[in-house]
């Protein structure tokens, strides 16, 4: 279901053809990089948070780590990740397949500056065994992001 939501969303941008599906899991950064044959840095890790009672997702480089101080400066609240059990209900995709494509209405999408050094990025595509190959410009277009943020170490 989530993969289909992501495909439908990406089709609007002519990017559904860039979806990769694997027999093995791509649910973690390490698994995804291995399945794709790329560096962990090139994985678009999509993290889910609650900010002022609103679910958001932030796509960061696979090797990046959240800097709590920067997060608080950016969003004016302490970082609070959505619990494993609530991610699918609030975001629209289950853990392992969370991506910025086909998310629930009201979910704000942000892109972290840790991605800006990359030419190609591979975010998940709604399932724990999929990814989509995108340029940063394609990611910007297809994610409907609000703005670039700087919340990683």
Each domain of the chain, given as residue ranges in start order, spans 2-142
The topology (CATH level 3) of 2-142 is YbaK protein (3.90.960)
- Three-state DSSP string of 107-138: CEEEEEHHHCCCCEEEECCCCCCEEECEEHHH
What mean pLDDT value characterizes the chain?
96
What gap in Å lies between CA 146 and CA 112, rounded to an integer?
Answer: 11
Q: Which residues pair with 123 in a beta bridge?
A: 44
Mean pLDDT for 18-47 is 97
The pair of three-digit structure tokens given for residue 107, joined into one six-digit string = 């979910």
For residues 62 and 105, what is the distance between their CA atoms, to the nearest angstrom? 25
pLDDT at 95 over 80: yes
What is the pLDDT averaged over residues 56-78?
Answer: 97
101: which 2 tokens? 């494509």
Reported confidence tier of residue 103, pLDDT bands at 50, 70, 90: very high
pLDDT at 105: 95
- Give the span between the Cα atoms of 82 and 140, in whole angstroms: 23
Distance of alpha carbon 66 from alpha carbon 84, whole angstroms? 17
Beta pairing, strands 120-123 & 134-135: antiparallel
Antiparallel, parallel or unpaired: β 108-112 and 147-149: parallel
Asked if pLDDT for residue 84 goes beyond 70, the answer is yes
**Interval 132-144: pLDDT, tens:** 999 999 999 999 9
Beta carbons of 81 and 46 less than 8 angstroms apart: no
Residue 91 has pLDDT above 90, yes or no: yes
Tens of pLDDT along 39-62?
A: 999 999 999 999 999 999 999 999
pLDDT of residue 117: 96
Q: What are phi and psi of 57, to 5 degrees?
A: -125, 145
Question: How high is the pLDDT of residue 1?
Answer: 62
């Amino acid at each position: 279901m989530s993969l289909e939501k992501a495909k439908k969303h990406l089709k609007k941008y002519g990017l559904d053809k860039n979806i990769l599906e694997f027999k093995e899991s791509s649910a973690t950064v390490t698994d995804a990089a291995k399945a794709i044959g790329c560096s962990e840095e090139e994985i678009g890790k999509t993290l889910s948070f609650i900010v002022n009672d609103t679910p958001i997702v932030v796509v960061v480089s696979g090797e990046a780590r959240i800097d709590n101080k920067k997060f608080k400066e950016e969003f004016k609240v302490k970082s609070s990740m959505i619990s494993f059990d609530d991610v699918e209900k609030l975001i629209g995709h289950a853990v392992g397949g969370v991506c910025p494509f086909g998310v629930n209405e009201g979910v704000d999408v942000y892109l972290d500056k840790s991605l800006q050094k990359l030419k190609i990025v591979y975010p998940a595509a709604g399932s724990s065994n999929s990814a989509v190959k995108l340029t940063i410009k394609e990611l910007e277009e297809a994610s409907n992001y609000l703005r670039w943020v700087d919340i990683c170490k």
